[in-house]
Structure 1
Amino acid sequence: MKDLMGMMKQAKAMQEKMQGLQEEIAGLEVVGQSGGGVVSVTLSGKGELTAIGIDPSLLKEGEKDILEDLVVAAHADAKGKLDLAIQERTQELTSGLQLPGGMKFPF
């Protein structure tokens, strides 16, 4: 019975940590860039696009395709940074857990 109570306490503590992690992730903000910084995209921790920055030198007639490609590349850069930040924070939280082989967290 003591083992069950201990497991319940650990589960409650993990749930509280996960809630804190979710709040921390929601507060994240990452910036992705492309074209040497002439285009930037900002994503929230929830993956929402919150800002786009475009250097005025790109606002020329006939360069629409280039600008579109740079926006897509900047978004991909930001998404990669966000995914990495979430993965790092999740690993910090779960580093002490004894999970079975092949099991990933969050499930």
Structure 2
Amino acid sequence: MTKGQGFGFGLGKMKELAEAFKKAQEVQQGAKQLQEELEQMEIEGSSSDGMVKVFMSGNQEPLRVEIAPDAIAQGAETLSETVTAAMKDAYDKSTTTMRERMEELTSGLNLPGM
């Protein structure tokens, strides 16, 4: 090691490193808060005819299903298709919400893969 070079970190590099750690801590705290918010959300998905509604949290946890009496009268196969459509709608809305919130949290950080 050449005298005066230390580990190759100048004061500027140390400041950048400290700022990176600070940002990482902020993102970690924001991610924890976001997770709590997503757990409390109730996102509704519905079938195209509105006879079935599925409710999920913001992190895709199923919460409940509401089925109109008229949907039951349509028979098991049609009801199954209607419930599946409502589930897909709720899932799509939930994942979109999660993605949008994560993008807000990480905006400006230039994280790879985000």
TM-score (normalised: structure 1): 0.84
Aligned residues: 101
| Corresponding residue SS for 2:49 | helix
Runs of 4+ off more than 3 Å: none
Q: Which residue, out of 82, 90, 97, partners 2:109?
A: 97
Q: Which letter maps to 2:62? A: L
* Partner Cα distance (2:49, 2:72) in 1: 16
Where does structure 2 lack aligned partners over 5 or more consecutive residues?
A: 1-13
Secondary structure of the equivalent of 1:98?
coil
Cα deviation, residue 56, structure 1: 0.8
Alpha-carbon separation, structure 2, partners of 1:35 and 1:57: 14
**Corresponding residue for residue 86 of structure 2:** 74
Within the candidate set 62, 73, 93, 1:49 is matched to 62
Question: What SS is found at the alignment partner of 2:59?
Answer: coil
Structure 1: gaps of 5 or more residues: none
Cα offset for 1:58? 2.0
Q: Which residue of 2 aligns with 1:21?
A: 34
Q: Structure 1 pair 13/63, CA: closer, same or farther in 2 (3 Å)?
A: same
For residue 40 of structure 1, what is the aligned residue in structure 2? 53
Distance 1:35 1:2 in 2: 55
TM-score (norm 2): 0.80
Deviation, 1:45, is: 2.2
Q: Work out which of the two has the higher radius of gyration on C-alpha atoms and give 1 or 2.
A: 2
State the identity as a percent. Answer: 37
